[in-house]
Amino acid sequence: MDATQLATCTGATASRAALWLSSITGAMGEFGVDTPRRQAAFLAQIGHESGGLQYSRELWGPTPAQRGYEGRVDLGNTQPGDGSLYRGRGLIQITGRANYKAVSDALHVDFIADPQLLEEPDNAARSAAWFWSKHGLNALADAGDFPAITKRINGGMNGYADRFDLWQAAQKALGVES
């Protein structure tokens, strides 16, 4: 894969894609996102989640939904301030103290002590590929079940039209046969 393909697959500018290319390709290799079909689905999803590789940290208002992160036991946010501290980070927006702990353990980096480390390109890409692998998304990509991938990442279908458009472009750029 080259930077032009990455830009097409994620909706990123060519210069931004060039900055992320090594981190993303390395993470895909590490976590078995290793066929054009898997890569097309993965790249479309991270492209949407990161706004075309612009953001590796959730934009914070806080919105009413973001205020709702505070005290959410299902996210492991049990300490005052956890909602903001453990906001979405990485190219798939890992959210919540419990998820930061899980990715810390998996990648052997202490994101609990230093959450901003998830914003760095290698960690942002690796955390996304780890999430992808942990949630069985390669199997869904192999089956072409893009709606199910979206639901596992997003919890719903938010932004589906954009995700789908990126997926279509990524399949074409990577030569995925329908």
Q: Which residues are catalytic?
A: 49
What size, in residues, is the chain? 178
CA angle 18, 149, 13 (to 5 degrees): 20
CA distances from 41 to 58, 73, 107, 160, 166 (A): 21, 30, 22, 12, 9
116-147: string of b/e by CB count within 10 Å (b at 16+)?
ebbebbbbbbbbbbbbbbeeebbebbeebebe
Measured between alpha carbons, how far is 9 from 171 in angstroms, rounded to an integer?
Answer: 8
